[in-house]
Structure formats: structure tokens, C-alpha cells
Amino acid sequence: MPPIRRSRPGGLSRRQFLNASLGAASGAALSSCGWTLANVQTTVRTDPGVLYIYTWAGYTDDELIDNFYKETGVRVIADVFSSNEEMLAKLQAGAGGAYSVIYPSDYMLQKMVGLGLVQELDRARLIGLDLLFDKFASPIYDPDNIHSLPLSWGTTGLVYNTTVLEPAPEDWDYLWNNRSDLTRRMTLLSDTREVMGASLKSLGYSYNTTNPDEIEQAYEKLLDLKPSIAAFDTDSWRSQILTGDLKVAMCYSADANEIAKQDANIAYTLPSSGSSIWTDTLAIPNTAPNPDAAYAWLNYMLQPEVAARICQRLSFATPNQAAFELLPPDVQENVSLFPPESALDKSENLTPIPTDVEELYDRLWTKLTSV
């Protein structure tokens, strides 16, 4: 994993301190009467030479940040989150004014637009929007890219070690059909929507269903598989799949590609009955300080050379056609990175679901992970 910069040189200026303490004091005053939970505060960061971004672990590295500094003279400070929900909670808990650029995934972006947390992008300030692949020019989750810029995309599927697993899995059903052989040798993601989605897909339903009956059926099917599941785990499968302690793991394609670089025996399958297609985006919060630097960062990420280098170094697919054309042929032809359109037919984007369905998911997930 590339090193992440988290250092934050220099202390608060007096003005910043004053702003912060005013904010705290008004917060305390408000709390004496009826108060609103998790009100997003306005900015306390005003230094134009520094850009705070809030991103996924593994989405930035020193080269990216150093080159941006050389180009614009703006220092980038990246904080990392490990789930969309964590990012949303932190923003709502008062860090909304802290970051100029955030990296929500598709469904989370939709949710944040609904909550009024991100601003519309000024298209006149963006250079290179026309370089995106056609299907990313107006994605379902954000028509015409009004609020966001697609940065990377991928799928969810199965990664396996060919030295300990054959035949190769082709669909989700493989897990159920071979469960006695896979007992305690498989992990699923630690993500409610993805795991329930895989079970839904294997039943022929949609990832985004809101029908409680279908969701209950998917839960029952998972319960059936439960004794064979070693763990629900998003990260620590990596070392164990390399050593062969795990035979198969459910994972994101980007992570599988990263591991496959280390060992040629690691392979990735996009399940034939379909799975989820995710897009991670760049967005600017409503309360973002330093918008000039934010737009500079967005334009920097749109540059074909930069996008191509990120794609190669950090192993996620680029939505940028000009960048794709700069990639070496072996990367372009890597089907786990760029699957053919035909393979994506049955896959879906995750979309936000109503609160009562979210609660049903949460209840079933707690049950699944506690019995």
C-alpha cells in the first residue's frame, strides 16, 4: 500500500483558533435548548496554500502529491476513511468544513446530494470533461456529472488462489455448491449491501431490491452458507489468500488486481449472474474551504497522463478514455481491470435505499454475524 501523508505541519493561526472557539461556543449555546444532531459547521481552514482531501486508503501516494505541489504550489494533506458511511458520519459530525475534496462512491454521492452536502460543480472551471468514456459522461448516479467527477471504477467479485482452488469459480453459486470443500477457507466482504447483494444476485434478484421478502430469502441463503464462512472481512484476506490459507475471498476488483501483481497464481472472477459495479467520485462539499485549490485538484486528476499513471500504480480502472489510450496493451487487455461490456450486462450500480430497508438490512446483518 502506498504511504499516505497525514502530517499536518504548523499550528492553528490565531484567527483559526478564534473561529474554532466561536464555533464551539455557539454550539454549546445552541445545545442548551432543542438542538439539531450533527449540524455541518462552516470552514475553519483558510490557508490557500494547503488542500485538505478526504479519501480512501491507497488512493493517493507521494508521487501524486509531490507532482501536484510542483505544478500548483499547493500542498495536499490527505486524511483517509475506510467506508463511505464513516466518511458521511465524520462530515456530519462537524468535519464538513474541514475538507475541500471528498471521494464518495456512487450511491453515497446520491445520498449526499439528497442531504444537500455537496455543491454543484462549475463546469466552466473544469478542463478535460470531454475526455471521459461516453458511459461516464452522464452516469446514472449523477446525470451529466453535475455534482461529481468519476475517478475510478471497478466491480465486486471473487479472488482465488489457483494453487489451492480448482475448478475456477464462475458464479456466486460456486460458494454454495462447494461449501464443504471451502469450509473456513473463504471470506466475504464486511459490507452489508455487498454481501446481501451477492446472495440476492444468486437468487436472481436485484442488488437494489426493496422487497422485504426477497431480502429475507437472501438472508436465509446466507445463513445456510454461514458455517463455511471463515470471516466477514474487507482487508485482512490479502495475506491469507497469498499463503493459500484462504481459497477464495469476495473482494473489490481493485484490491484483487493489487494482489495479483504480487503473485501470478491469484486470479479474479466477475460472477456470471452479475454483481455490483462501483464508481468512486470526486466531489466538493458545500462548506469546502479553498475552492480554487479544489478545482485545481479535480483538473489535475482529469489530466490523461496523471489518470493513466494512477491506473497503473494504484490498480483501479480509469473512466478517462484519453488515459486508457495511454496505457500499455497488457493493462488495457486485463479483463479483471477492464471487463468487456458483455460481462457487465447483468451487474448493477448500488443505489440508495429507504431508511426502513436500511434498518432491515442492519437487523439481518447483526443476526447473521452474531448467531
Partner 1 sequence: MAVSSPPPTSPSSSEPRPQARWLGPLALLAPSGLWLLLLLVLPTLVIFQLSLVPNIRPGDVVNPSGLDNYWLAFNSTNLTVIVRSLSLALGTTAVCLLLGFPVAYWIAILAPRSRRNLLLLGFILPLWTSSLLRTYAWITILRPTGVLNTFLGTFGLPPLELLNTSAAVTIGMSYSFLPYMVLILYSSLEKLDTQLLEASADLGAPPLQTFLKITVPQALPGIAAGSLLVFISSLGDFIDPELLGGASSMTAARLIYNQFLGQTQNWGFGSALSTILILAVSIAIALLLKYGDRDAYRS
Contact footprint for partner 1 (CB under 8 A)? 31, 34-39, 83, 85-86, 88-89, 92-93, 115, 184-185, 190, 192-193, 226, 229-233, 236, 239-240, 243-245, 355, 358-359, 361-363, 365-367, 369-371
Helix (H, G, I), strand (E, B) or coil at 50: strand
Instruction: Determine the Cα–Cα distance for residues 171 and 304; give it in Å rounded to an integer.
Output: 35
**Cα 116 to Cα 106: distance, rounded to the nearest angstrom:** 15
Q: Report helix, strand or coil for 325.
A: helix
Task: Determine contact, residues 207/193, Cβ cutoff 8 Å.
Answer: yes
Nearest by Cα to 182 from 192, 195, 172: 172
Q: How far is the CB of 19 from partner 1 (least distance, A)?
A: 19
| Cβ-based nearer residue to partner 1, 52 or 365 | 365
Q: Report how far residue 155's alpha carbon sits from residue 176's, in angstroms, rounded to the nearest whole number.
A: 21
Least distance in angstroms from the C-beta of 143 to partner 1: 24
By beta-carbon proximity to partner 1, the closer residue of 156 and 299 is 156
Q: Which of 283/364 has CB closer to partner 1? A: 364
> For the chain, how many residues are written?
371
Q: How far is the CB of 367 from partner 1 (least distance, A)?
A: 5
d(CA 188, CA 195): 7
Q: Supply the minimum distance, in Å, between the C-beta of residue 90 and partner 1.
A: 8
DSSP class of residue 33 equals: S
Q: Which is nearer to partner 1, 38 or 168 (CB)?
A: 38
Least distance from partner 1 to the Cβ atom of residue 5, Å: 18
Of the two residues 229 and 259, which places its CB atom closer to partner 1 in the complex?
229
Which residues are bridge partners to 149 per DSSP? 282
Phi, psi (deg, nearest 5) at residue 21: -75, -30
Nearer to partner 1, 223 or 343 (CB): 223
Minimum distance from CB of 130 to partner 1 (Å)?
A: 36
